[in-house]
């Protein structure tokens, strides 16, 4: 084995010597900063760059650029189509839930879309594309497939203005479903709050909240939200309960206006109609 290696080295010793000298020369040139050698380095790098560019150009010449560009174009189109399919799938799922709600609800529901959203810290207000032409009246609740969104406060022939749950001027009589604890919920500019619930009452995070039987605005048992947290007040005898809305208020787009008026609202509407007729 050793004899074979020695014979191989003897046969190719000239090449080994040349390669060793070349490596040593390159090493010395690299770490030598003399002006003449600097010029030599620059010249060598320039020649290398020219040769590399020429080789790349030759390779590119044989490439089918039109085919590559066509594939890139198809890839971009496929990406857009996949994104559109995802969006359509999401909308399809949401619309199925809306149709299911419309089919199973005991109330008369009018489908409506959000035309615009006027949102500030304390005033959540939406404009819907349904009005008196669709027999919509002030005081009708607005929901989506998850739960309560708000209430109609102004109506024209073709449009309705609604106050959402995130409007500080809207107060809602609610019931905690599991224990029948009643309270009043409103928006404080940061979150939905039920104030002044005695600490002795059985309320835990995750409890489901719905509209109360005593509400003068909404039909009973409409889902509103979930108990998020209990916060004791300064005296420690009462709790303020923060609520997470069960419906996505900020992302609401496809809604239903419920053709429902409480007895008090119906009486007010009748009085208004009488006055207008007189």
Tell me the pLDDT tens digit for each residue of 239-261.
Answer: 899 999 999 998 888 899 998 87
91 in a structural domain: no
User: Which pLDDT score, from 0 to 100, does residue 107 have?
Assistant: 76
Q: How many CB atoms lie within 10 A of CB 128?
A: 26
Name which residue leads in pLDDT, 265 or 70: 70
Bigger pLDDT: 68 vs 161: 161
Q: Quick one: 154 and 23 in the same domain?
A: no
| CA–CA distances in Å: residue 233 to residues 186, 195, 236, 237, 240 | 17, 9, 5, 7, 7
| 205 falls within a domain | yes
pTM: 0.60
136 lies in the same domain as 207: yes
Q: Does residue 78 sit within a domain?
A: no
Q: What's the whole-number mean pLDDT along residues 34-51?
A: 59
Phi then psi for residue 149, to 5 deg, are -110, -45
Give the mean pLDDT of 99-124: 78
Res. 216: pLDDT tops 90:
no
- Tell me: do 133 and 22 sit in the same domain: no
Is 262 among the domain residues?
yes
Average pLDDT over residues 153-171: 94
Residue 95 pLDDT greater than 80, yes or no: no
Confidence of residue 170 (pLDDT cuts 50, 70, 90): very high
44 shares its domain with 174: no
Minimal CA–CA distance to 256: which of 35, 88, 61, 101? 101
Between 167 and 27, name the one with better pLDDT. 167
Same domain, 270 and 132: yes
Average pLDDT, the chain: 78
- Containing structural domain, residue 13: 2-50
Both 229 and 116 in one domain: the answer is yes
How many whole angstroms separate alpha carbon 265 and alpha carbon 40? Answer: 95
Residue 246, pLDDT score: 93
Residue 103 domain flag: no
Q: What average pLDDT does the segment 22-28 reach? A: 59
Nearest alpha-carbon partner for 131 in 152, 110, 158, 109: 158
Give the model's pLDDT for residue 120: 80
Whether 84 is in a domain gets the answer: no
- More confident of the two residues 206 and 27: 206
- 193 confidence band (pLDDT: 50, 70, 90): very high
Question: Looking at the domain assignment, is residue 88 inside a domain?
Answer: no
Same domain flag for 137 and 14: no
For the chain, give the percent of residues with pLDDT over 90. Answer: 38
Residues 20 and 134 occupy one common structural domain: no
Shared-domain flag, residues 255 and 140: yes
Q: What is the CATH number of the domain that holds 224?
A: 2.40.10.340
Whether residues 163 and 236 share a domain: the answer is yes
DSSP H helices in 31-112: 35-62, 65-104
Q: What average pLDDT does the segment 27-41 reach? A: 57
- Which position has the higher pLDDT, 237 or 28? 237
Residue 37 CA to residue 75 CA, distance in Å, equals 50
The domain total for the chain is 2
Would 202 be classed as within a structural domain? yes
Counting residues of the chain whose pLDDT is more than 70, the rounded percentage is: 57
Do 114 and 39 share a domain, yes or no?
A: no
Domain shared by 252 and 154, yes or no:
yes
Last residue of a domain, one of 50, 69, 90: 50
Q: Distance of CA 43 to CAs 25, 40, 49, 86, 172, Å?
A: 16, 5, 10, 56, 83
Cα distance between residue 165 and residue 217, in whole Å: 13
pLDDT band at 159 (very low <50, low <70, confident <90, very high): very high
The answer to whether 126 and 153 are in contact (CB under 8 A) is no
CA distances from 59 to 49, 64, 158 (A): 15, 10, 66
Of 121, 225, 238, the residue nearest 169 (C-alpha): 121
Spatial distance between the Cα atoms of 129 and 115, rounded to a whole number of angstroms: 6
**Res. 58: pLDDT tops 60:** no
């Amino acid at each position: 084995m050793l004899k074979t290696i020695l014979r191989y080295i003897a046969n190719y010793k000239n090449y080994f010597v040349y390669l060793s000298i070349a490596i040593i020369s390159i090493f010395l040139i690299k770490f030598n900063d003399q002006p003449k050698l600097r010029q030599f380095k620059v010249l060598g790098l320039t020649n290398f760059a020219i040769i590399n560019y020429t080789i790349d150009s030759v390779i590119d010449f044989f490439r089918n650029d039109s085919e590559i560009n066509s594939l890139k174009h198809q890839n971009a189109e496929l990406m857009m189509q996949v994104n559109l399919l995802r969006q359509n799938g999401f909308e399809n799922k949401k619309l199925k839930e809306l149709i299911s709600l419309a089919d199973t609800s005991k109330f008369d529901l009018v489908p409506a879309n959000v035309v615009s959203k006027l949102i500030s810290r304390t005033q959540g207000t939406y404009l819907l594309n349904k009005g008196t032409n669709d027999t919509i009246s002030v005081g009708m609740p607005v929901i989506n497939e998850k739960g309560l969104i708000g209430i109609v406060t102004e109506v024209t022939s073709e449009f309705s203005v609604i106050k959402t749950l995130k409007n500080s001027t809207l107060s809602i009589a609610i019931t905690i479903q599991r224990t029948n604890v009643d309270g009043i919920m409103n928006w404080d500019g940061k979150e939905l709050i039920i104030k002044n619930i005695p600490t002795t009452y059985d309320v835990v995070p995750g409890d489901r909240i719905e509209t109360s039987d005593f509400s003068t605005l909404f039909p009973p048992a409409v889902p509103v939200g979930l108990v998020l947290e209990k916060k004791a007040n300064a005296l420690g005898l009462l709790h303020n309960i923060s609520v997470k809305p069960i419906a996505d208020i900020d992302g609401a787009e496809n809604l239903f206006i419920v053709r429902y008026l409480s007895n008090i609202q119906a009486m007010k509407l009748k009085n208004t109609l009488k006055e207008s007729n007189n």
